[in-house]
Amino acid sequence: MPMYLPKKIIIDPKVRSSSMVETVLQNAASVPVEYRKIDKDSFHLVNCDDLVIACYQGNFYKPCPGTLHYLCCQYKILNIGLNCPLACTYCILQSYLDHPALVLHANVEEMLAELDVLFSEHPSTTFRIGTGEFTDSLVLDHLSGLTKILVPYFADRKNACLELKTKTTNIHNLKGLEHRGKTIVAWSLNSARVVRREERGAPSIEDRLLAAQKCQEWGYRLAFHFDPIIYYPGWEEDYRKTIEQLFSMIEASHIAWISLGCFRYMPKLKPIIQEKFHHSRIVYEEFIQGLDGKMRYLEVLRQEIYSRMVRWIRQKDPECFLYLCMESTRIWRNCLGFAPSSNQDLQSWLDQRCRG
């Protein structure tokens, strides 16, 4: 699958001389460039096929929003950009962001300075940080080269690890980097049918796993996220095939964790999916509104899905570290046989996995 190229690059004059702009222009020499002021009031005027490079004004580091009602792993977010060109039907960004602009934050030096202060002020805290919350971690890396900065940076940090979460095969910048085991490369996985129908801009499962194989060869630890798991007649056979494919191509010893999470969405996402993706049927199953306001499959169905997924994974690797994303203590116990006592408990388990 060819790497993404925007139709136009729009650069805020404030960042014209930044190293990020220089790198992107070198890597996208054939793309037209426009310089114009960009602020929060003008993002909505940008075409979704254009790439904006601007200065980020807020805090780069933020906690995962999570919820009070379900167990959360206390993930921390590093905001490197906004939006994603893969156009998955279920993407929460469609309802979360109020503009279509694809954005790269150019002030990387300020990002690293913010992290320097954070890590030095809390030397006994383990920071498990990901860049894949508001965009795909690697989908623009062939343009930005950001991993060439972040991976060596985290390699030198004793109390932090970086998770790069992606659906892409855009890994060539990771080769040869000094990572010292402090970067975990993670892939979102699904059934082949879901990829064909709901993730049409993303590579196949086989291609994702081939990319994971290369990262394994380069010494990276890996993670995999079955999230969202989407129910449909025949889902069992399809998802089991993906699990078999995963463990036939990846060594279990290289897997830091696997997460499971069933499809859920805020109510305002439903009309967006219906309008943009006429072929998609994912919002027409039976849902109930959860304690967090999101529409969720009925609990009995979620438990059936998780129990089967856990059993299939345990058959391949009995020691694999599994966790559920945003689920209740009861579902944890019923499907995994145990549950964290709190969010902090789950966080400490994953932090320990980060430390190897």
Per-residue pLDDT of the chain (356 residues; tens, 9 = 90+): 778 999 999 999 999 999 999 999 999 999 999 999 988 778 888 888 999 999 999 999 998 876 778 888 888 999 999 999 999 999 999 998 888 889 999 999 999 999 999 999 999 999 999 999 999 999 999 999 999 999 999 999 999 999 999 999 999 999 999 999 999 999 999 999 999 999 999 999 999 999 999 999 999 999 999 999 999 999 999 999 999 999 999 999 999 999 999 999 999 999 999 999 999 999 999 999 999 999 999 999 999 999 999 999 999 999 999 999 999 999 999 999 999 999 899 989 898 898 76
Sequence letter at residue 349: W
Say if residues 119 and 227 touch (Cβ distance below 8 Å).
Answer: no
Give which of 254, 253, 248, 227 is closest to 309, Cα–Cα.
Answer: 227
Residue environment code for 280-303, b if the CB has 16+ CB neighbours within 10 A, otherwise e? bebbeeebeebeeebbbbeeeebb
Would the pTM of this model clear 0.85, i.e. be above it?
yes
Sequence-separated contacts (24+) of 92-96 with Cβ below 8 Å: 92/265, 92/266, 92/269, 93/134, 93/135, 94/269, 94/272, 94/273, 94/276, 95/265, 95/266, 95/268, 95/269, 95/272
Tell me the domains of the chain and their CATH numbers: 57-81+108-354 (3.80.30.30)
Say if residues 72 and 64 touch (Cβ distance below 8 Å).
Answer: yes
Which SS3 state, helix, strand or coil, does residue 60 take? coil
pLDDT of residue 42: 84
pLDDT of residue 148: 98
Residue 87 burial class via C-beta count within 10 angstroms: exposed 0-12, middle 13-18, buried 19 and up: middle
Structure tokens at 223: 């993670």
pLDDT of residue 298: 97
Residue environment code for 239-262, b if the CB has 16+ CB neighbours within 10 A, otherwise e? bbebbebbbeebeeebbbbbbbbb
Structure tokens at 322: 């599994």
Structure tokens at 51: 């790439």
Residue reference for tokens 């990319």: 211
The span from the CA of 317 to the CA of 245, in Å, is: 13
Give which of 322, 137, 138 is closest to 227, Cα–Cα.
Answer: 322
The 50-54 sheet, strands edge to edge: 33-35, 8-11, 50-54, 102-105, 81-82
